[in-house]
Amino acid sequence: MFPFNIEKKYRPYPRIHLPDRRWPNQAISSAPIWCSVDLRDGNQALANPMTIDQKLEMFDLLVGMGFKEIEVGFPSSSDTEFAFTRMLIEEKRIPDDVAIQVLCQSREHLIKRNFESLRGAGKVIFHLYNSTSPLQRRVTFGMNKEQIKQIAIEGTRMIKALRPTLPDSEFVLQYSPESFSDTEVEYALEVCEAVMQEWEPGPNEKIILNLPATVEVSTPNVYADQIEWFCRHLKHRDHAIISLHTHNDRGTGVAATELGLLAGADRVEGTLFGNGERTGNLDIVTVALNMMAHGIDPQLDLHDIPRLREICERNTEMPVPPRHPYAGDLVFTSFSGSHQDAIKKGMDLRKGQADPDAHWAVPYLMIDPNDIGRTYKAIIRINSQSGKGGVAYILQHDHGFDLPKPMHPEVGKHVNDEADRRQRELTSDEILDAFTSAFVDIASPLELIEYDVHRVSAQPALFRVTGSLRLNGKESLFSGEGNGPINGFVNALERLGYKSFNLTDYRQHAIGGGSATRSAAYIQIQDKLGRRFYGCGIDTNIELASLKALVSAYNRSVNAPAPDGK
């Protein structure tokens, strides 16, 4: 229950009256025109926007994948965006068959600045936009419908007047009624047709009408109704390319795009893994591979998803979730025994087929992981750019260490630093060595020599821990009581004056099975500076493994360099 009236505070989005809708009976049979907006929409959604070098690497990646339209930025918004556009043009980095797209609000000085950035470009898409929704009209601009429409018309008129300044460019106008998804379809159509009337496109020189779900306000079927209604009512439909630009506020950006294509759209804008404002843009990788799974050539090179993901994560600092379709660490790995058995049988049967192009039919796997550079086991290659989740995955699945999730960043950074030092990928055994040398059974400067645990009482639980230890070469006897061996040992350290921390986390699990089973324990402590350190202990005795973990965490904390100024 919420402490407010839901029905009063929130309202359902109005439906489109389209009783004879046709899109439910359509099928996607070919790839749309793809336009990547990773370098603009995706970039402006980053806490740390990409540098020019990072954008160049991303641009080259997109070109190599086969994108023919790439929105490179908002040149009039900053010197960096302007300089990047000029660098692409002046250094002739743009292939002849690739069009660069630039975004611009319908404002004269911004339009002029964008034109300056495009001098010498071969193929250009000039992306003009202004907000059209009732909410934006009322709250943001305080304008009526006619005033908002005039903004679009005036922007188009300015672009038309400046068009001759790029005499050698193949020039296409794209217009977006921003917040199309929340705009009355009749009014969105009115504004777009006013822009078309001013621009005067033709069947051989089409305008792109981009209809964005800037905010995903409805279910995907409503967006599809909007697209079909618009396509069916647009005058001179053959003079326009209808483009989709969905966001993911409701988590259905992919579905909205697929239904929008059924409804008559020709073109799709999005980012490779869905990075974008709020909950993200359309995920082009997912839509394209959904098509491939249905036997449709997506016209994009997606054969090496791990490489695409690594470059995107490194440049955007945005991790791809482990359950991300196709690209996530775990999407081709099943933990359920019944799933694993079915997949193994399907893969074994596949190996017995002589034709490598035989129809793919393996339980639980929509596509062959090898087709996109993955494997069923979801092998994760660890290098200096790898994520913390990948390191934890290797340690668990290859070596049996189920690290606590808060421990992942600490271990991941250490392993990544080791890979960076070696300047190459680490093997599974090298990852294990890096982990154990830094986190497991660290015995200096505090060394546990011997110990004994005695239960003093059962109700309430009380244990006495005694033994001897050595700190910085000085040997001492210790004794402490607590509600468990760890608590008793911590109290013993406090009595000796050695306690300079608080224990903040404790986990343990078995490694292996049968008589050879060992226990792994993980303990996290927080020092007086607020820093947190994990330690791991391994032993056939769970009590000793836990004490070793505490000693390891303690030693890691005192061995850590002091922060600046401390």
Angle between helices 428-439 and 408-422 (to 10 degrees): 120
Virtual CA dihedral for 59, 62, 64, 69, nearest 10 degrees? Answer: -100
What is the rounded distance in angstroms from the CA atom of residue 417 to the CA atom of residue 405? Answer: 19
What is the rounded distance in angstroms from the CA atom of residue 5 to the CA atom of residue 527? Answer: 47
Which residue type, as a one-letter code, is found at position 429?
D
Model pTM? Answer: 0.68
DSSP-H helix ranges across 294-366 = 305-316, 337-351
Q: Print burial letters for 511-533: b (CB count within 10 Å at least 16), e (below 16).
A: beeeeeeebbbbbbbbbeeeebb
pLDDT in tens, 258-307: 999 999 999 999 999 999 989 999 999 999 999 999 999 999 999 999 99
What is the rounded distance in angstroms from the CA atom of residue 491 to the CA atom of residue 3? Answer: 46
Q: Are 149 and 190 in contact (CB under 8 A)?
A: yes
Q: Are 300 and 271 in contact (CB under 8 A)?
A: no
- Diameter of the chain measured on Cα atoms: 92
CA angle 523, 524, 527 (to 5 degrees): 135
| Structural domains of the chain sorted by starting position, each given as residue range(s) with its CATH number in brackets | 30-316 (3.20.20.70), 332-379 (1.10.287.1400), 446-559 (3.30.160.270)
Q: Are 27 and 20 in contact (CB under 8 A)?
A: no
Which residue type, as a one-letter code, is found at position 427?
T
Q: From its phi and psi, is residue 395 left (phi > 0), alpha (psi between -120 and 50) or beta?
A: alpha
Q: Are 224 and 23 in contact (CB under 8 A)?
A: yes
The burial class, CB within 10 Å (0-12 / 13-18 / 19+), for 368 is: middle
Check residue 336 and give its pLDDT. Answer: 54
What is the rounded distance in angstroms from the CA atom of residue 305 to the CA atom of residue 530? Answer: 39
Strands 207-213 and 170-178 come out as parallel
* Three-class DSSP category at 503: strand
What is the rounded distance in angstroms from the CA atom of residue 432 to the CA atom of residue 371? Answer: 30
Q: Which element (helix H / strand E) includes 456?
A: strand 446-457
pLDDT in tens, the chain (566 residues): 889 899 899 988 888 999 999 999 999 999 999 999 999 999 999 999 999 999 999 999 999 999 999 999 999 999 999 999 999 999 999 999 999 999 999 999 999 999 999 999 999 999 999 999 999 999 999 999 999 999 999 999 999 999 999 999 999 999 999 999 999 999 999 999 999 999 999 999 999 999 999 999 999 999 999 999 999 999 999 999 999 999 999 999 999 999 999 999 999 999 999 999 899 999 999 999 999 999 999 999 999 999 999 999 999 999 999 889 999 988 887 655 456 557 667 777 887 787 888 899 988 889 999 999 987 554 344 555 555 656 776 788 789 999 998 998 899 889 888 888 888 878 889 999 999 999 998 888 999 999 888 888 888 889 899 999 998 888 999 999 999 889 999 999 999 888 889 999 999 999 877 666 899 999 999 998 999 999 999 999 888 899 999 999 999 998 888 776 55
